Structure 1
């Protein structure tokens, strides 16, 4: 009797039933199966990592786009808010050299942070200047500080006979800057200074010869 029976696998081949199944993916496997448990744990780890990445990315975006605080306010330069006013002649202090010129000024910081008067000077080489109080000293905003200044003639040849617009050089400092500023004290100061210099140098022949 002729016929075709079951096909036997040839050499080097295997029956379909004997082929190893591909690694499980977790889909369609019964709960509790080792492969399903591995898949579930791996999937949870991946989802948690993705969620954390999303949170970090969102936080970084919010940080980058947050409203920026305004920059700190910058105060004025000290010379812009300090006023120096001539008050007139004062009696010469004890032990002052003969012919000294003593006067008072009022220094007022009008606004802003505290200002320090670092130095007070004058432009003439033939004069020496001292003041009470002696710099450096701090000012109080809105309060007029009286400063008594004494000028002593050291060399008449280097002093002006008629000081047209004499000024004081004042070095000021606040939290923004330190700067030198020249304050013109007006005609009254110019008159008093010129008169004092003429009196102090009236008997000096060298000063008269060079003027």
Structure 2
């Protein structure tokens, strides 16, 4: 023997199989073999289920996510303010109606309503703050009173109202130009009020 490889049986020898070395028959497996086979099948079925669940979990986790919802519009982008008409007012005051419409998005609150001219005071009904829901409109009656004719403007071309709006997204101060009819009505009312004062 050289010790360089496994020991091989010599000539005329063969492996011995006696009663002390039981060999399970392929046709009639013993109880141990049957138990082993059942256990192996259960383990393989469990492993297959785990692999299937893991694969499904990976697919679920890696699926494309829907885009986040768009943020609501800024309040000034959702609101229209339109001049309706002059309305009766006491004395030399000038009253007019506007319609505030909220086209879309969350409710909008008017936190402030004002005019930019010195020499004129203003009130509104309803008084700010008030809220208007989406897809609805609110009529606002505005009353202007001349407090000092020397500071009141004349022949207004593009008069506007300052409105501060708030919704779930932002608070914005915005100026709304109410158009030529409002400019004419306001100029006429200021002329009447200040001519009466000078008498």
For structure 2, list consecutive stretches of 5 or more residues without a partner in the other structure: 1-46
1:113 aligned to which of 102, 105, 128: 105
- TM-fit CA distance, 1:171: 1.7
Q: Is 1:72–2:99 an aligned residue pair?
A: no
Give secondary structure in 2 for the equivalent of 1:73.
coil
Determine if contact 1:102/1:148 at 8 Å carries over to the other structure: yes
2:184 aligned to which of 167, 184, 191: 191
TM-score of the superposed pair, with normalisation by structure 2: 0.65
Q: Is 1:122–2:119 an aligned residue pair?
A: no
Q: Could you tell me which residue of structure 2 aligns to residue 170 of structure 1?
A: 163
- Work out the CA distance in 2 between the residues paired with 1:182 and 1:101: 20
- Work out the CA distance in 2 between the residues paired with 1:80 and 1:160: 29
- Work out the CA distance in 2 between the residues paired with 1:168 and 1:99: 20
Aligned length: 173
TM-score of the superposed pair, with normalisation by structure 1: 0.61
- TM-fit CA distance, 1:181: 1.6
C-alpha distance after superposition, 1:121-148 (max 9, x if no partner): 111122111111112232451x332111
Give secondary structure in 2 for the equivalent of 1:124.
coil
Determine if contact 1:156/1:204 at 8 Å carries over to the other structure: no
1:181 aligned to which of 152, 166, 174: 174
- TM-fit CA distance, 1:115: 3.1
Q: Is 1:100–2:93 an aligned residue pair?
A: yes
- Work out the CA distance in 1 between the residues paired with 2:51 and 2:134: 56
C-alpha distance after superposition, 1:9-28 (max 9, x if no partner): xxxxxxxxxxxxxxxxxxxx
Give secondary structure in 2 for the equivalent of 1:89.
strand
- Work out the CA distance in 2 between the residues paired with 1:57 and 1:140: 46
- Work out the CA distance in 1 between the residues paired with 2:190 and 2:156: 9
- Work out the CA distance in 1 between the residues paired with 2:52 and 2:198: 89
C-alpha distance after superposition, 1:86-134 (max 9, x if no partner): 11111115xxxx421111111112x322432422111112211111111
